[in-house]
Amino acid sequence: MAPHRRPDQHLLVLAGGGHSHALLLRRWILQPRLKPARTAVLLINRRSTALYSGLVPALVAGLLPEADGAIDLRELCRCAGVAFLQAEIIGLDAAAGTLVLEGRPPLRYGVLSLDVGAQTLAPPAAAGTVAPQPVKPLEPFLAWLRGRLQGPGCPPALAIRGGGAAAVELALALRARGLEPRLLLRSRGLQLGSPLAGRRAEALLARRGIAVERAVPPGAASDLACTGSVAPPWLAASGLPVDGATGRVLCEPTLQVRGHPQLFASGDCALVAAAPRPASGVWAVRAAPLLAINLRRQLQGGGRRLRPWRPQRWALQLLGDGGSGADGRPRALALYGPLCLGPSRWIWRWKLHLDRRFMAMFPSPARARRRPAAAGPAAPMACRGCAAKLPAQPLEAALRRLGGTAAAPAPQDAAPVLDLPDGALLLQSVDGFPALVADPWLNGRLTTLHACSDLWASGAAVHSLQAVVTLPQASAPLQEEWLLQSLAGVRSVLDPLGATLLGGHSLEGRDGAGLGLSLSVNGMAPAGRHWGKGPLPEGAVLLLSRPIGSGVLFAAAQAGLADAAWIDAALGQMQGCQAPLVPLLARHGCLACTDVTGFGLLGHLGEMLEPGQALELDAAAVPAMEGALELLERGLASSLAPANARALAQLAPAGPVRLRPSVDAARQQLLIDPQTCGPLLAALPAAAAEAALAAVRAAGFPRAALIGRVLSPPLSPAPASPR
682-701 pLDDT, tens digit each: 999 999 999 999 999 999 99
Beta bridge partners of 518: 432, 468
Q: Indicate if the pLDDT at residue 38 is higher than 50.
A: yes
Q: Indicate if the pLDDT at residue 395 is higher than 70.
A: no
Q: Indicate if the pLDDT at residue 33 is higher than 70.
A: yes
Whether 588 contacts 692, CB under 8 Å: yes
Strands 49-51 and 70-72: antiparallel
Q: Please tell me the predicted confidence (pLDDT) of residue 577.
A: 97
Q: How many CB atoms lie within 10 A of CB 652?
A: 10
Q: Indicate if the pLDDT at residue 2 is higher than 50.
A: no
Name the E strands within 655-722. 657-659, 680-684, 705-710
335-392 pLDDT, tens digit each: 988 899 989 999 999 998 999 999 999 999 988 887 766 544 454 555 665 555 556 6
Rounded to 5 degrees, φ, ψ at 342 are: 95, -170
Q: Indicate if the pLDDT at residue 627 is higher than 90.
A: yes
Helices 165-176, 195-207: axis angle to 10 degrees equals 10
pLDDT (average), residues 61-66: 89
CA distances to 120, 232, 316 from 136, in Å: 5, 11, 21
249-285 pLDDT, tens digit each: 999 999 999 999 999 999 999 999 988 888 777 778 8
Q: What is the 3-state secondary structure (H, E, C) of 93-114?
A: ECCCCEEEECCCCCEECCEEEE
Rounded to 5 degrees, φ, ψ at 27 are: -60, -40
Whether 86 contacts 45, CB under 8 Å: yes
User: pTM for the whole thing?
Assistant: 0.91
* Cα 491 to Cα 486: distance, rounded to the nearest angstrom: 9
Lowest mean pLDDT of 36-50, 422-436, 455-469, 695-709, name the range: 422-436
Lowest mean pLDDT of 120-129, 293-302, 521-530, 563-572, name the range: 120-129
* Full set of structural domains in the chain with CATH: 10-119+229-300 (3.50.50.60), 131-227+317-335 (3.50.50.60), 412-530 (3.30.1330.10), 532-723 (3.90.650.10)
Q: Please tell me the predicted confidence (pLDDT) of residue 123.
A: 74
Lowest mean pLDDT of 46-60, 417-431, 589-603, 646-660, name the range: 417-431
Residues 6 or more apart in contact with residue 721 via CB below 8 angstroms: 410, 532, 533, 534, 535, 592, 607, 608, 610
Between 398 and 565, name the one with better pLDDT.
565
Q: How many CB atoms lie within 10 A of CB 6?
A: 8
CA distances to 118, 176, 309, 318 from 287, in Å: 17, 34, 7, 20
Q: Provide the residue count of the chain.
A: 723
215-254 pLDDT, tens digit each: 998 878 899 999 889 999 999 999 999 999 999 999 999 9
Q: What is the DSSP letter of 122?
A: P
Q: Is the link from the previous residue into 535 a cis peptide, with omega within 30 of 0?
A: yes
Strands 417-419 and 270-272: unpaired
Q: Please tell me the predicted confidence (pLDDT) of residue 692.
A: 98
Q: Please tell me the predicted confidence (pLDDT) of residue 717.
A: 52
* Cα 706 to Cα 699: distance, rounded to the nearest angstrom: 16
Q: What is the DSSP letter of 599?
A: T
Beta bridge partners of 542: 683, 708
510-557 pLDDT, tens digit each: 777 789 999 999 999 988 888 999 889 999 999 999 999 999 999 999
Whether 249 contacts 265, CB under 8 Å: yes
Nearest C-alpha neighbor of 562 from the set 353, 305, 327, 369: 369
Q: How confident is the model at residue 70 (pLDDT cuts 50, 70, 90)?
A: very high
Q: Please tell me the predicted confidence (pLDDT) of residue 4.
A: 53
Alpha helices (H) in 460-563, listed in sequence order: 476-497, 550-558
Alpha helices (H) in 114-194, listed in sequence order: 138-150, 165-176
Between 380 and 411, name the one with better pLDDT.
380
Nearest C-alpha neighbor of 470 from the set 508, 444, 496: 508
Q: Indicate if the pLDDT at residue 66 is higher than 70.
A: yes
pLDDT (average), residues 495-512: 90
* Cα 677 to Cα 694: distance, rounded to the nearest angstrom: 22
pLDDT (average), residues 100-120: 95
Residues 6 or more apart in contact with residue 43 via CB below 8 angstroms: 14, 17, 21, 25, 73, 77, 82, 83, 84, 85
* Cα 203 to Cα 342: distance, rounded to the nearest angstrom: 11
Nearest C-alpha neighbor of 705 from the set 626, 624, 606, 648: 624
Q: Please tell me the predicted confidence (pLDDT) of residue 394.
A: 66
Q: Please tell me the predicted confidence (pLDDT) of residue 527.
A: 82
Q: Please tell me the predicted confidence (pLDDT) of residue 538.
A: 92
* Cα 63 to Cα 581: distance, rounded to the nearest angstrom: 44
Q: Which SS3 state, helix, strand or coil, does residue 391 take?
A: coil
Helix, strand, coil percentages (3-state) for the chain, rounded to 5, are 35, 25, 40
Q: Please tell me the predicted confidence (pLDDT) of residue 329.
A: 85
Whether 704 contacts 696, CB under 8 Å: yes
* Cα 566 to Cα 664: distance, rounded to the nearest angstrom: 22
Q: Please tell me the predicted confidence (pLDDT) of residue 412.
A: 45
Q: Which SS3 state, helix, strand or coil, does residue 228 take?
A: coil
Q: Please tell me the predicted confidence (pLDDT) of residue 391.
A: 63
* Cα 301 to Cα 373: distance, rounded to the nearest angstrom: 46
Q: Indicate if the pLDDT at residue 402 is higher than 90.
A: no
Q: How confident is the model at residue 715 (pLDDT cuts 50, 70, 90)?
A: low
Q: Which SS3 state, helix, strand or coil, does residue 216 take?
A: coil
Q: Indicate if the pLDDT at residue 393 is higher than 70.
A: no
% of the chain with per-residue pLDDT over 70: 90
Q: Which SS3 state, helix, strand or coil, does residue 119 take?
A: strand
* Cα 255 to Cα 291: distance, rounded to the nearest angstrom: 7
Compute the mean pLDDT over every residue in the chain, rounded to the nearest whole number.
89
Q: To which H or E segment does residue 559 belong?
A: none
